Amino acid sequence: MSVTYIDSIPGFDEADRRLGVHSLDSVTFVRSAGCLMRIDLEAGHVDWLVGRSLCENDDTGAELSPRIQYWGQELWVSQDGNVVAELEPGEEGGLIVAARNGLDGQGLWKHSIPVTARVTVFFAADATRLVVCLFRESGRFASEENGYKPPPYACHTDAMRLDPLTGQILWNGSFPSLRIGLLQQDSFAGIWSKGTVLGRLDFETGSNIILYQSSSVLGDPIPCGNGLAVSWHNQKEIGVEWFDESGGLTRSSRIPQPKVRTTRLHNTGAGLALQINDAATFWWYGDEDRPLWSARAKPYIYRVRRSAGTDVFVGTDGMGGRVFGFDPQTGQETLNLKPTLGGVGSLSHIDEHSLLVASFRTSKSYSRSPSLLLLSTIDRSHRLAYECQSLEGTWRHGAICRAGERSERLAIIDVRKQDTTRSVRKSGGDESASLLPPIGAVYAFKLPDGRY
């Protein structure tokens, strides 16, 4: 296993906690507050880097307008990697969508979107269509103190599709009552639910249709096989309903379970898990239309992972969070790994290897960097390797982490190679893209304000 550290990245320090990372095959695009860059993960070098000026009063590195919140995808990459787009704050509280050539970083176009209300903005999860979503909601967290009664919950989504090469608007729609849940915003593929209604926003045409009306409260829908699945609950029961590509109901399941407030489905890639109340209880369905067993994984379930022929692995977070393993047939616990501090909610899968990875703390002090946990899904063996302040993403042969005392380094980990460590230093930036030679030199870029 090898690691390549990239240092002195513009805007890449402790204040910049939010990153956009999008990996495609053996290439990844990384967006920080101070730059956008493309990294060749196989070779371990930066193909190009584009810098930008930083706002002096920006202490989050991500939110420059009080009207705009970023939660889902801030970075969009086309299926072939030839176009990359990002969301940027514009003048007077607006939003800018900017696109670049993914091969050399040269600018293609910019499009300005006025924003008049507080919204959450993100790209839809569609690698063939560039769709920007602006979601807003009200009444959910309003206080009832001092006799004030908040208005009923309401939500609204505005969306537009842009041509990736030209920036031309292909359609622009406004959709009252279209709800995109908080956990769904990072992977919104057009299917949505609100209360008892299930719908689909067609990214090709911009049309929004109702697929299904339930008598129970629906959870967030998820893709499942060639169709989709959605969980539901009422006063006495919970369950799952499956739909085909056209939205037709194909099968359903129900479980007696009173006093449920919310439900959530996890698609592991090798079976479904149904979680209730954002807490520790889940039912394992696998590929069946009825639950095989239920278990608890304290304190809060964040990730459920499984590959064909392996255990069911669960990553939980909060103090006391850990990695659990369960036998898929019996539900018997097979693994219980607990970090010294915090949890393991970042549990992720390396696509072409039988490995799970997560940031894992071995000290009770936050001043000591956590390590990267590598867990075999075949025999449950595990090891800790390299520091990993936060796991930012995975690629086909490894992981991408934040490292360093101030999270100022980017670590590219390749699990195929022998244990080696090397560093490449990047500093500065430029408004135009710059092609960088391979590792071995120190690079300096001039920022727009003249600084290096």
Q: Does the residue 431 lie in any domain?
A: yes
Most confident among 12-16, 185-189, 229-233, 404-408 (mean pLDDT): 229-233
> Are 115 and 178 in the same domain?
yes
Give yes or no for residue 15 having a pLDDT over 70. Answer: no
**Residues 77 and 93 placed together within one structural domain of the fold:** yes
For 177-236, strand residue ranges (E) read: 191-194, 197-201, 208-213, 217-218, 222-224, 227-233
Does some domain include residue 359? yes
| Residues 178 and 89 grouped into a single domain | yes
Q: Quick one: pLDDT at residue 371?
A: 95
Looking at residue 16, its pLDDT comes to 54
Count of CB atoms situated within 10 Å of the CB of 204: 13
pLDDT of residue 139: 60
Confidence of residue 351 (pLDDT cuts 50, 70, 90): confident
The average confidence (pLDDT) of the chain is: 85
Give 177's contacts (C-beta < 8 A, 6+ positions apart). 154, 155, 156, 194
What pLDDT is recorded for position 216?
96
Q: Is the pLDDT of residue 437 over 70?
A: no
Q: For the segment 67-90, what is each residue's pLDDT rounded down to a tens digit?
A: 677 666 889 999 999 999 999 887
Residue 42 sits in the same domain as residue 169: no
CATH of the domain at 119: 2.40.128
Mean pLDDT of the 312-316 span: 96
pLDDT at 61: 38
Phi, psi angles (nearest 5°) of residue 219: -90, -170
Dihedral sign for Cα 192, 275, 153, 123, please.
negative
Report the domain count for the chain: 2
Query: pLDDT confidence of 324, banded at 50, 70, 90?
Result: very high
Q: What integer pLDDT is reported at residue 54 of this predicted model? A: 53
Q: Which residue has the higher pLDDT, 58 or 232?
A: 232
pLDDT score recorded for residue 70: 65
Name the 3-class secondary structure at 173.
strand
Instruction: Output Rg (C-alpha) for the chain, integer angstroms.
Output: 23
Assigned domain for 262 exists: no
Question: Does residue 204 share a domain with residue 129?
Answer: yes
Same-domain check for residues 23 and 134: no
Q: Is residue 277 part of a domain?
A: no
Mean pLDDT of 268-286: 92
pLDDT digits (tens, 9 = 90+) for 360-384: 999 998 889 999 999 999 999 999 9
Rounded to an integer, the average pLDDT of 176-190 is 90
Task: Indicate if 116 and 182 belong to the same structural domain.
Answer: yes
Q: Which residue range forms the structural domain that includes residue 113?
A: 63-141+153-208
Query: Same domain, yes or no, for 96 and 80?
Result: yes
Rounded average pLDDT over 305-312: 95
Distance of CA 338 to the CA centre of its chain: 24
Asked if 76 and 158 sit in the same domain, the reply is yes
Compute the distance between CA of residue 412 and CA of residue 419 in angstroms, rounded to an integer.
Answer: 13
Same domain? For 203 and 67 the reply is yes
Q: In this structure, what are the phi and psi dihedrals at residue 183, rounded to the nearest 5 degrees?
A: -75, -15
Check pLDDT > 90 for residue 269.
no
241-266: per-residue pLDDT in tens?
999 988 899 999 999 999 999 999 99
In a domain, 332, yes or no: no
CB 347 within 8 A of CB 358: yes
What is the value of pTM for the model shown?
0.86
| Mean pLDDT, range 208-217, rounded to an integer | 95
Is a pLDDT exceeding 90 seen at residue 118?
Answer: no
Q: Are both 21 and 73 inside the same structural domain?
A: no
**Dihedral angle computed from the Cα positions of residues 188, 190, 195 and 197, in that order, rounded to the nearest 10 degrees:** -160
Task: Compute, in degrees rounded to 10, the torsion defined by CA atoms 432, 20, 395, 279.
Answer: 180
204/69 same-domain check? yes
* Residue-level pLDDT at 64: 46
300 within domain boundaries:
no
- Spatial distance between the Cα atoms of 449 and 452, rounded to a whole number of angstroms: 9
Q: Is residue 233 part of a domain?
A: no
Identity at 387, one-letter amino acid code: E
| Domain contains 245 | no
Parallel, antiparallel or unpaired: strands 169-176 and 333-337: unpaired
Res 143 pLDDT > 60: no
